[in-house]
A = this chain, B = another copy of it.
Amino acid sequence: MNPVISYLILYDKLNVSKSVTPQSKDYAAWYTDVVTKAGLADYGPVKGTMVIRPYGFALWDNIKKIFDSMIKETGHVNAYFPLLIPKSFLAQEAEHVEGFAKECAVVTHTRLKLDEHNGLIVDPESKLEEEVIIRPTSETVIWSMYKKWIQSYRDLPLLINQWANVVRWEMRTRLFLRTTEFLWQEGHTAHATGKEAEEETLLILELYRQLAEDYLAMPVYTGLKSESEKFAGAEQTYSIEAMMGDKRALQAGTSHNLGQNFARAFDVKFQTQDNKEEMVYATSWGVSTRLVGGVIMTHGDDKGLKLPPKIAPYQVVVVPIFRDENKQSIQDYLTPLLSDLRSAGVRVHEDWRKDSPGFKFNEWEMKGVPLRLEVGPKDVENEKVVLVRRDNSEKQIIQKNKIAGLVPQCLDEIQTALFKSAKAFRSENTHTVTTYDEFKDVIANQGGFIRCGWDGTEKSEIAIREDTKATIRVIPFDENFKGLKCIYSGAPARHEVIFAKAY
């Protein structure tokens, strides 16, 4: 990587020198401290908008690249649909409009002008005949185009994705987790049969699981959403749900089987192989910059971020311990070593600033770089380097000729250890309860997930939500409700579900 790039990331120096609020004291404050002090993001000037800083963007970009290649390997292609949607489109699908009308940014005018006092005002003469909204999601505009593109079964399946920004006017925002504007991918596919659409929905859910578990080291439950929690306009919504460090749930990705709802709304029919006319079946699915929030809260600690090596912008940070008089010899020692590492595909960053080693250690711990490599004059003499893991602070002194072999192995170990540790934490904090009183006690005092029976009624679901603020996060694929009773009503369970308070 170019040395100038690393220079840039150091702008956060002033911030990092201050420590973060401990998790135990105030988890929300800890989160915001880490996001800002690690240089991931900042709030923008318009309420609830986010500036993704270079280090945070590099992290998102790594996640994006991984998922982009996953969907390409499974036959999807990228395209780009407009940001602006006619207001009337939203009304085409009844549930969809209900879900999004209350958080739409509405464009009503197209010009500004100076008034008589030289103040900048909206030019009333530029009022649009029909207002347009900024996409909160793109089903409507995409299906208006699919109507033009799909005529026959030969045009199906249509497997299109876009990487885009969307806007939902949120009241309470938090960086990465819930912002007025966020970045995401949204897939929108069209199929000839309901079966195919369902297969696509589940294929994508499985890709989301792989992305979360195998790359972000974030264990997730996969399964179906309850009726009240599904996407506005979907037949079924599947999701991946993760547990954060404060034991709350994070919905980290959703995949929707839209049935024929949007085809009906936009009148998208196709000619079948036997010359009949049928409505097209649809899916949509998305993951967003929210995943970055998930990574922070799955792995972070009071020292800052802990990044899984597979997505870390820098996998190894080199902190040379040097003075002016021995800088050259340390550089000479390091150059071939680091060149070997880089050839092995490791993302290495060298920190040659004049600040104290202790200061640098803190900074790179805050930024969550998985491995720190220290080299001082003594190490040069002994042909060694010091390797320190961010995840467990383990320190090893190793022979210089072993670095290129050991570092990739060590990064793999860290990746695995982060996942294991997150999974253990989730296990410890997933409870089974036998009475509703116990349920309420656990939610109120311990937190975490509760796995229990549910009678399948909205009534019980709402009652529980109102009592405890816990919601059904997911009906997990591995549910087993035989013999279970609904934790609220005592009636025979229709499902085994996972309840939790959620982000």
Interface residues of A (CB under 8 A from B): 2, 4-5, 7-9, 11, 14, 42, 44-46, 49-54, 56-58, 61, 72-75, 77-91, 97, 101-114, 119-120, 122, 126, 131-134, 141, 144-145, 148-149, 151, 155, 158-160, 164-165, 167, 169, 180-181, 183
Distance in angstroms from A314 CB to nearest chain B CB is 13
For the complex with contacts A11-B155, A57-B79, 19 further pairs of A-B residues with Cβ separation under 8 Å are A2-B75, A5-B72, A7-B75, A8-B75, A44-B81, A44-B82, A46-B86, A52-B79, A80-B183, A83-B181, A84-B180, A101-B111, A102-B113, A103-B111, A106-B107, A107-B134, A108-B109, A108-B122, A111-B169
Given contacts A44-B145, A167-B84, contact A79 B101 (CB under 8 A): no
A287 to chain B, nearest CB (A): 16
From B72, B83, B85, B159, A167 is in contact (CB under 8 Å) with B83
Q: Is the CB of B110 within 8 A of A105?
A: yes
Taken together as a complex, chains A and B put the C-alpha atoms of A87 and B114 apart, in Å, by 12
Instruction: Please determine whether A46 and B132 come into contact, CB atoms closer than 8 angstroms.
Output: yes
Contact B112 A87 (CB under 8 A): yes
CA gap between A107 and B77 in the complex, in Å:
32
- Among A53, A83, A97, A131, the one with the most B-chain Cβ atoms within 10 Å of its Cβ is A83
- Residue of B72, B106, B112, B159 touching A122 (CB-CB under 8 A): B106
Chain B residue at minimal CB-CB distance from A111: B102
| Cross-chain contact of A84 among B49, B58, B77, B149 (Cβ < 8 A) | B49
Contact of A79 among B4, B54, B84, B104 (CB under 8 A): B54
Q: Is A77 a contact partner of B122 (Cβ separation < 8 A)?
A: no
Q: How far is the CB of A132 from chain B (nearest CB, A)?
A: 5
**Which 10 pairs between the two chains have the least Cβ-Cβ distance?**
A4-B75, A49-B82, A44-B82, A110-B169, A52-B80, A101-B112, A54-B77, A106-B109, A91-B120, A46-B84
A53-B79, A82-B181 are contacts. A42–B112 as well, Cβ < 8 Å? Answer: no
B51 touches A79 (CB 8 A): yes
Q: Return chain B residues, CB-CB under 8 Å to A126.
A: 106
A82 to B48, CA, bound (A): 10
Given B46, B53, B89, B120, which contacts A45 in the complex, CB threshold below 8 Å?
B89
CB-based contact B159/A84 at 8 Å: no
Specify which of B101, B120, B158 is in contact with A90 (CB 8 Å cutoff). B120
Bound CA–CA A371/B103 (angstroms): 50
Structural contact, A2 and B73, CB atoms closer than 8 A = yes
Enumerate 10 A-B pairs (CB-CB under 8 Å) in ascending A order. Answer: A44-B141, A46-B86, A49-B83, A52-B80, A61-B78, A83-B83, A88-B120, A101-B112, A101-B113, A103-B110
Chain B residue nearest to A169 (CB atoms) is B110
What residue in chain B is nearest A167 (Cβ atoms)? B83
Chain B residues contacting A164 (CB-CB under 8 Å) are 165
Closest to A133 in B: B112
**What residues of B have a CB within 8 angstroms of the CB of A104 in the complex?**
110-112
Q: Which of B51, B108, B132, B145 contacts A145 (CB 8 A)?
A: B51
A83 CA / B101 CA spacing, docked (Å)? 20
**What's the nearest-Cβ distance from chain B to residue A101, in Å?**
4
Nearest chain-B residue to A1 (Cβ)? B72
Query: Which residue of chain B is the closest to A75 with respect to CB atoms?
Result: B4
Once the chains are docked, how many angstroms separate the CA of A103 from the CA of B158? 35
Q: Which residues of B contact A11 (CB under 8 A)?
A: 149, 155, 158
Which B residues are CB-close (under 8 A) to A2? 72-75
Quick check: A51 and B75 within 8 Å, CB to CB?
no
Q: Give chain B residues whose Cβ lies under 8 Å from the Cβ of A149.
A: 11
Residues of B close to A181: CB separation below 8 A: 82-84
- Cα distance A21–B144 in the bound complex, in angstroms: 27
- Are A77 and B58 CB-contacts (below 8 A) given A82-B51, A151-B14? yes
Distance to closest chain B CB from A465 (angstroms)? 24
Given the complex of chains A and B, what is the CA–CA distance between A108 and B133 in angstroms? 11
Residue of B nearest to A168 (CB): B110
**B120 pairs with A87, CB closer than 8 A:** yes
Docked Cα-Cα span, A126 to B112, in Å, equals 20
- Residues in B with CB closer than 8 Å to A158 are 8, 11
Question: CB-CB < 8 A to A107: which residues of B?
Answer: 105-108, 134
A108 to chain B, nearest CB (A): 5
A1 to chain B, nearest CB (A): 8
Query: In the bound complex, how far is the Cα of B131 from the Cα of A160, in angstroms?
Result: 34
**Residue among B45, B57, B113, B144 making CB contact with A78, cutoff 8 Å:** B57
Q: A54-B79, A106-B108, A165-B165 are in contact. Are A45 and B141 (CB under 8 A)?
A: yes
- What's the least CB distance linking A41 to chain B, in Å? 9
Chain B residue numbers with a CB within 8 Å of A144 are: 45
